[in-house]
Amino acid sequence: MSAWIPGLEGVVAARTAVSRVDGEGGGLWFRGVPVETVGRVGFEGAAELVLGRPLVGLGEARVRAWERQRALTVGGSPMAVVRGRVASGDWSAVEDGIAEVAVAVAFAARADVPRPDAALDHASDLFRLARGRLPTEAERIGLSTYLATVMDHGLNASTFAARVVASTGSDAVSAVTAALGALKGPLHGGAPGPVLDMLDAVGSPERADAWVRAELDAGRRIMGMGHRVYRVRDPRAAALEGAVGGLHTDRLALARAVEGAAERALAARHPGRALRANVEFYTAILLEALGFGRELFTPLFAAGRVVGWLAHVEEERAVGRLLRPRAEYVGPPCT
Please provide the size of the chain in residues.
335
State the nearest-atom distance from the C-beta of 187 to ligand COA, in Å. Answer: 7
Q: Is 273 in the site for ligand COA (CB under 6 A)?
A: yes
Phi-psi map region of 78: left, alpha, beta (phi>0 left; psi -120 to 50 alpha): alpha
Q: Is 275 in the site for ligand COA (CB under 6 A)?
A: yes
Q: Is 304 in the site for ligand COA (CB under 6 A)?
A: no
Distance CA 133, CA 130 (A): 8
Of residues 230-269, those binding ligand COA (CB under 6 A): 266
Nearest CA among 277, 150, 153 for reference residue 226: 277
Nearest CA among 313, 316, 286, 311 for reference residue 301: 286
Pairing state between β 19-22 and 27-30: antiparallel
Q: Is 270 in the site for ligand COA (CB under 6 A)?
A: yes
Amino acid 235 reads P
Q: Which is nearer to ligand COA, 67 or 197 (CB)?
A: 197
Q: Is 110 in the site for ligand COA (CB under 6 A)?
A: no
Stretch that binds ligand COA, among 35-43, 70-78, 199-207, 272-280 (CB under 6 A): 272-280
Q: Which is nearer to ligand COA, 227 or 312 (CB)?
A: 227
Distance CA 154, CA 16 (A): 8
Q: Is 116 in the site for ligand COA (CB under 6 A)?
A: no
State the nearest-atom distance from the C-beta of 50 to ligand COA, in Å. Answer: 19
Q: Is 313 in the site for ligand COA (CB under 6 A)?
A: no
Q: Is 163 in the site for ligand COA (CB under 6 A)?
A: no
Q: How far apart are the first and last CA of the chain?
A: 22
Q: Is 106 in the site for ligand COA (CB under 6 A)?
A: no
Nearest CA among 277, 296, 288, 303 for reference residue 148: 303
Stretch that binds ligand COA, among 74-82, 96-104, 196-204, 219-227 (CB under 6 A): 219-227
| 33-34, strands of its sheet edge to edge | 19-22, 27-30, 33-34
Residues with catalytic roles: 227, 280
DSSP per position, 290-317: TT--GGGHHHHHHHHHHHHHHHHHHHHH
- In whole angstroms, what separates CA 16 from the centre of its chain? 18
One symbol per residue from 185 to 204: x for binding ligand COA (CB under 6 A), - otherwise; what is it?
------x-------------
Q: Which is nearer to ligand COA, 70 or 228 (CB)?
A: 228
Taking CB under 6 A as the criterion, the residue among 42, 224, 299, 308 binding ligand COA is 224
Binding site for ligand COA (CB under 6 A): 191, 221-228, 266, 270, 273, 275, 278-280
